[in-house]
Amino acid sequence: MSQLFDALLLLLLISTAITVVRATDLVAAVVKFGLYSLMMCVLWQHRGAPDVAIAEAAVGAGVTSVLFLLTVARTTRVEKP
Partner 1 sequence: MRWLGLALVVVAAATLMLGVADLPPHGAPDAPVHTHVGARYLERGVAETGMRNLVTAVLLVYRGFDTFLEVVVIFSALVAVVALPRGRAARPDDGDDRPPAASLTAEGPAQQLVSVSPVVAFVVQLLGPFIAVFALASLYRGHVSPGGGFQSAAIFGALFIAIALVQGRERAALLVPRGARVWLQALGPLSFALIGTVGWILTGAFLGYPADAAAYALREAMVVAVEVGIAVGGAVILAQLFMAMEG
Name the site residues for partner 1 (rule: CB under 8 A).
25, 27, 47, 50-51, 54-55, 58-59, 62-63, 66-67, 69-78
Expressed in angstroms, the distance from the first to the final Cα of the chain is 42
Residues present in the chain in total? 81
What's the closest the beta carbon of residue 27 comes to partner 1, in angstroms? 6
In the complex, minimum distance from the CB of residue 12 to partner 1, in angstroms, rounded to a whole number: 18
- Of the pair 16, 26, the CB lying nearest partner 1 is at 26
Residue placing its CB nearer to partner 1 in the complex, 39 or 59:
59
Q: Could you give the CA distance from residue 59 to residue 67 in angstroms, rounded to a whole number?
A: 10
List Cβ neighbours of 28 (8 Å cut-off, separation of 6 or more): none
User: b/e for 15-32, b at 16 or more Cβ within 10 A?
Assistant: ebeeebeebeebeebbbb
Q: Between 39 and 62, name the residue whose CB sits nearer to partner 1.
A: 62
Query: Residue 58 Cβ, how far from partner 1 at the closest point, in Å?
Result: 4
